[in-house]
Structure 1
């Protein structure tokens, strides 16, 4: 979107210029629309599970804004000559069930022929225009909470190589399909200052964006970051993604990584996530209670992973602890 001059309208509260996870459009004093669209390529072979993950991934942008999803439209790119029609039906079924779990409804959608299978949703939600989460509100003194483990890019690669066992695959799919609704709702109720969901740019990319938009420095404590089991083993076996190196280049000028963090550990910071957790900037007086409430509600991986500090120039600092 760089170089694109968006429409100037006072009703646009979050748009292309703000770099938020979703757009926000004020309807009246107490109600705004929140809109997003996202689609992904298959991350598992089971089409129903893929539909669930793709739906959760798209819905996450709504939750990152502290909003509530209302409706969705399917967006499907489908190679008609290579994939049975029953596969598409199973993908749609998985997405339908996940959207219903979120309390929203699918109104329809659009399908197009494409050599590569892709699926996702366009989602519309609502929020109070006076109280929603953006990526520009982090303040010095805040603590940072991450609500899901990182490492999905590595584990998806291991799965495709036949190295991830049945238990590992089940755990991965379960976490990717899990909604971020509880994390988003509780963050808003505890007056969190900012949030973003961790997806394709990896933890480093999204944390760096949060720092830049908020004009602060973000310090991540590597040993506190929740990580999927076996992820470092797979990295050492050579599992990687094309996007990982791109993510690393993207933040090269704005990240400082402590010397005692290994190359294997650092690689995980740039690992692209599918349907990752929320990174929430919240007041230090609320952070511990927020994490405890999340864990009690079943968001077991939630952890305080860093802090926000004042800085003359935004940057991301990664230390051991």
Structure 2
């Protein structure tokens, strides 16, 4: 496990200490959220290609035969202490929902909650600068946004993109008998939880969180993939189960094939497991046929922030971690 440095707490503002949780681990638990939104999908319209029904990554509305709009919003409390890095991570995470649908982000607006009487606004400027830099990398304009005075710092973006309706990636399009590809390693949840507790900084975790899923999405489309989702707060198991349930198929996962960040297993062994991760596992446990131990299941359910894409189909350059199978939406793990 490589630690680049430890923050001097007496000299630096530690943003993670101003929030009850961090990153996508702060999501409302998946089962609880589904209970809240049940029956709220609204009227069915022919131009709405993807709505609330299957809990996909973003809404998609057809404009014409060749163009559809992808729209999403994502924000969260600080996942790291560095303001600029938090801004970059939150922006990459918000943009990821567009890439997970096979789209291209074109414009975003900032979403900000800031404790004005507690934290200096210079830090907020750094957060926004980080978000802007990642949006620029993605070729996505940033057109202002909305802010409120909030007891906890929060940041993210609402993002609009475009997609060809015939090349849409969606979570209800998985077919049996295909490989499952994961495009980023797991483990940022336990490492971020360790960072929040100790101040240790994990450069590899930051690097993977700020990395755009643009190239992975392009490779998935080039390989002919039709089904994908990104791996964020519900963990690999939670997001995979949602895709299997929406598609009416099952899956087998080879635990030894799943890549992890350096230090993730040690952080797990040292007890840095978030409540969100445990809730993820509780939610999917009844849909698992697990032949691995509890620690392995916790890593597979680890609440990710700005994770990679989970693609049904083989994507060159990325590891295959299992395959889809015919049958009920059960995940066999061996």
Are 1:266 and 2:297 matched, yes or no?
Answer: yes
How many angstroms apart in 2 are the aligned matches of 1:20 and 1:234? 30
Corresponding residue for 1:316? 331
How many angstroms apart in 2 are the aligned matches of 1:2 and 1:245? 23
Are 1:281 and 2:312 matched, yes or no?
Answer: yes
CA contact (8 A) 1:232 1:265 kept: no
Give, in angstroms, the shift of residue 156 of structure 1: 0.4
Corresponding residue for 2:236? 203
Corresponding residue for 2:223? 190
Candidates 307, 314, 318, aligned match of 2:323? 307
Runs of 4+, deviation exceeding 3 Å: none
How many angstroms apart in 1 are the aligned matches of 2:310 and 2:255? 14
Q: Secondary structure at the match of 2:95?
A: helix
Candidates 66, 72, 95, aligned match of 2:108? 72
Give, in angstroms, the shift of residue 101 of structure 1: 0.1
Give, in angstroms, the shift of residue 163 of structure 1: 6.7
Give, in angstroms, the shift of residue 274 of structure 1: 0.2
Give, in angstroms, the shift of residue 124 of structure 1: 0.2
With normalisation by structure 2, the TM-score equals: 0.87
Give, in angstroms, the shift of residue 310 of structure 1: 0.6
Aligned counterparts, 1:217-232, within 5 A: 217-232=250-265
Corresponding residue for 1:257? 290
How many angstroms apart in 2 are the aligned matches of 1:94 and 1:190? 32
Corresponding residue for 1:213? 246
- Structure 1 unpaired stretches of 5+: 293-301
CA contact (8 A) 2:238 2:301 kept: yes
CA displacement 1:199-230 (0-9 Å, x = unmatched): 00001001111111110001111000001112
Corresponding residue for 1:181? 214
CA displacement 1:45-84 (0-9 Å, x = unmatched): 1101100000000000000001000000000011111110
Q: Secondary structure at the match of 1:161?
A: helix
Aligned counterparts, 1:124-139, within 5 A: 124-139=160-175
Worse overlay, 265-274 or 194-203: 265-274
Are 1:56 and 2:92 matched, yes or no?
Answer: yes
Give, in angstroms, the shift of residue 5 of structure 1: 3.7
CA contact (8 A) 1:208 1:255 kept: no
How many angstroms apart in 1 are the aligned matches of 2:329 and 2:82? 42
How many angstroms apart in 2 are the aligned matches of 1:145 and 1:117? 34
CA contact (8 A) 1:71 1:123 kept: yes
- Structure 2 unpaired stretches of 5+: 1-36
Are 1:97 and 2:133 matched, yes or no?
Answer: yes
Are 1:153 and 2:189 matched, yes or no?
Answer: yes
CA contact (8 A) 1:291 1:304 kept: no
How many pairs does the alignment contain?
298
Give, in angstroms, the shift of residue 265 of structure 1: 1.5
With normalisation by structure 1, the TM-score equals: 0.91
CA displacement 1:123-171 (0-9 Å, x = unmatched): 000001122100011111110000001111100011122274x5xx111
Give, in angstroms, the shift of residue 106 of structure 1: 0.2
CA contact (8 A) 1:6 1:17 kept: no
